[in-house]
Amino acid sequence: MTSLSPQPTKMDKGWDIDQETALSALSRRKLIDQVVKYLSLAAVIFSLAVLAILLIDVLIDGLPVINWNFLTSYPSRRPEEAGLVSALVGTIWVMVLVALFTFPIGVGAGLFLEEFVSDTWFAKAIEINISNLAGVPSIIYGLLGLQVFVRLMFPITQGRSILSGALTLSLLVLPIVIIATRESLRAIPNSLRQAGFALGATRWQVVRAHILPLAFPGILTGVILALSRAIGETAPLITIGALTYIPFLPELSLRGLQSPFTVLPIQIFNWVSRPQPAFHALSAGAIIVLMVILLTMNSLAIYLRNRFQK
């Protein structure tokens, strides 16, 4: 008596083999996905652990030396009398000037290149050059600042002054601000621009009233990140001749912009290079002060970004 059940054909066997292959490939992809996931998690945990160890070490060494005398005294050869008031004031001066130079020029350049320049070979060449400038080592900007701002513009800057340092750091972070501005503008849907044009608005009216307010939180974040990089730069300022010992504070006037200066990274470098352990503790305290300034800037950026987003 013959069975009535259908016999598997070559096509059915091929289908089973293809299905098994697909399931095997899916399992392999899931396994690779889990491996990459846990490797990435391990990399993050390792990085945070190293950062936590460094921060704890700095806090243990630096917190005992932070007091009012440390914040209001000038540098000294005696560690018990040394302070960082000149470096702290110089850092604030330089960063305020960098923000004043960088924000309007960088945002304006990014706005012009993204919204008003047509897609030509010249615009593409400028975009490539800006991207390349963002990756140039900072000491190259220091050499440029030494030649242009310190020597050629001596009648204006008076050589190795606060103004020369601020202009040099502004050149360093301008490509970052321009790129951040363009990326923030690109994130705005093009349909919003077309709607404004359809209502008869000019390009500048559309950009000013609709595009720029929506892109401003991202632009502001890019500016603050650029300033965060500038506040920790040492090589360009050493190249242009920033001093390590300043026994006075700059005047609160335009003439003060032409005064010699020092900043916190240079003061930290000076103290770390000394052999006495007491100066190493002072450098740790200066690092804590620098981190507080940096965190304050980032907190202000987050607050302003959330406010403009609303």
Give the model's confidence band at 1: pLDDT under 50 very low, under 70 low, under 90 confident, else very high.
very low
Cα 41 to Cα 22: distance, rounded to the nearest angstrom: 28
Q: Where are the domains of the chain?
A: 67-309
Fold entry, domain 67-309: MetI-like fold (1.10.3720)
Give the CA angle between residues 280, 263, 92 to the nearest 5°: 125
21-34 pLDDT, tens per residue?
777 777 888 888 88
264-300 pLDDT, tens per residue?
888 888 888 888 888 888 888 999 999 898 888 888 8
> What is the pTM for the complete model shown?
0.81
